[in-house]
Structure 1
Amino acid sequence: MESREFIDMARKVLDAASGVRERAADEVTDRLSAYSPAQASALATLLSAAAASEKENSALEAELHAILELMSTGHVGLDHVSQLREIRVGELPPELREYVTDLLES
């Protein structure tokens, strides 16, 4: 992925609007083969930080799904998504709890 596209994606992942973050997370999963190993791990780290402070469950679900997909590339390790440990799992709906638990146990 070209630098310009990568920067644009990173900006969307960190956007102030939850709808933009949600769409960006979905777009991340649509372009998995376009990322270099460094880009994949950087996006996973950004998504993890966004997820740790996410207030909207639909955006959180999209972010967690994108992280899971990025981890499947083999370029993302648990250290890249360590911010997920900041999420208060007990306050989440059951399906999101499972997502977070699965990611942290990967």
Structure 2
Amino acid sequence: MNEPEFAPSRILDAREFVAMTREILDPESVARERAADEVTDLLSSYSSTQVSTLATLLSAVAACEKGNSALEAELHAILELMSTGHVAFGHVAQLQDIRLKELSPELREYVTDLLDG
């Protein structure tokens, strides 16, 4: 299987990466939503390890998310990270913990599509 080309233009340094992960874990859903949007804005700035780590972290956060806007942003960020070719099913497996029947049809479809790969 050929993986897509992935050559970051500039890799986030340790401080930037830690700051990003802290934002993803913020107690406020508005902040988590903003952080997920920022993940997609910086897509070309991650190493392959950072990509898989962010996907894993976002999946865990999404599995616990209560805010629909934040959840949608997190799922979109995961989808964008998956496009790099550095995210395996194991990185997003925690999405299985989301109770699909509690979601809107659009979010339900988003989660199903991500799990189907």
Shorter-chain TM range is over 0.9
| 1:97 and 2:108 correspond | yes
Gap regions ≥5 residues in structure 2: 1-11
- Report the aligned-residue RMSD: 0.4
Measured after TM superposition, the shift of residue 13 of structure 1 is 0.4
Matches within 5 A, 1:57-68: 57-68=68-79
* Structure 1 residue 77: Cα displacement: 1.0
Quick one: distance in 1 between partners of 2:89 and 2:16?
Answer: 25
Moved over 6 A (4+): none
1:35 correspondence with 2:46: yes
Calculate percent identity across the aligned residue pairs. 70
Distance 2:58 2:35 in 1: 10
For 2:89 and 2:114, the matched residues in 1 are separated by 8
Flag the structure with higher helix content.
1
Q: Does 1:44 align with 2:74?
A: no
Structure 1 residue ranges without an equivalent (≥5)? none
- Match of 1:96, SS state, is helix
Q: Name the residue aligned to 2:21.
A: 10
TM-score, normalization: structure 1?
0.99
**Structure 1 partner of 2:3:** none
> Which residue of the other structure, out of 98, 102, 105, is the alignment partner of 1:87?
98
Could you give the per-residue CA deviations for residues 6-54 of structure 1, whole angstroms, max 9, x where no partner exists?
A: 0000000011000000000000000111000000000000000000000
Tell me how far apart the structure 1 counterparts of residues 43 and 88 of structure 2 sit (CA, whole Å). 16
